[in-house]
Amino acid sequence: MILRILEEGQYEVPDEVVDALNPLDEDLVAAIEAGDQARFQRSLAALLERVRESGSRVADDYLGPSDLVLPPTDASLEEVAEMLSEEGLIPG
């Protein structure tokens, strides 16, 4: 699967690794819902680290979209919550 870490680029990650990311992903959602900054930072860092270490960078000129998109490494909880609610951020 192709995953994008925002502000960093696309990674090709084996499917079984993506499955293993789910608990961290769920934890991230729970952290956002609870407004728990520390937990959010921890889960995000762990999630991105797993993608980086098990994925390989996709060539810069690859034109395909990503299957999954992850927040930038220094994203705050508020920013991510805003991305989810406000689509106006992204130019067509």
Partner 1 sequence: MSLMRRLSMVFKSKASRALDQAEDPRETLDYSYERQLELLQQMRRGVTDVATSRKRVELQAEQLQANATKLEGQARQALEQGREDLAREALARRAAISTQAVELKAQHDQLKGEESKLVDASRRLEAKIQAFRIRKETIKANYSAAEAQTKVGEALSGISEEMGDVGMAMQRAEDKVASLQARSGAVDELMASGALDDMSSESDPLQAELDRISTGSGVDRELERLRGELGSSQAKSLDSGGKSGEEQK
Binding site for partner 1 (CB under 8 A): 3-4, 6-7, 9, 21-22, 25-26, 28-29, 32, 59-72, 79-80, 83-84, 87, 89-92
Q: In whole angstroms, what is the distance from residue 45 CA to residue 23 CA? A: 14
What is the closest distance, in whole angstroms, from the C-beta atom of residue 24 to partner 1 in the complex? 10
What is the closest distance, in whole angstroms, from the C-beta atom of residue 30 to partner 1 in the complex? 10
Contact 72, 6 (CB under 8 A): yes
Phi, psi of 90 (to 5 degrees): -105, 120
What is the closest distance, in whole angstroms, from the C-beta atom of residue 28 to partner 1 in the complex? 5
The DSSP element (H or E) to which 9 belongs, if any, is strand 9-12
State which residue, 38 or 88, has the beta carbon closest to partner 1: 88
State which residue, 4 or 52, has the beta carbon closest to partner 1: 4
As given in the structure block, the two tokens for residue 54 are 């098990």
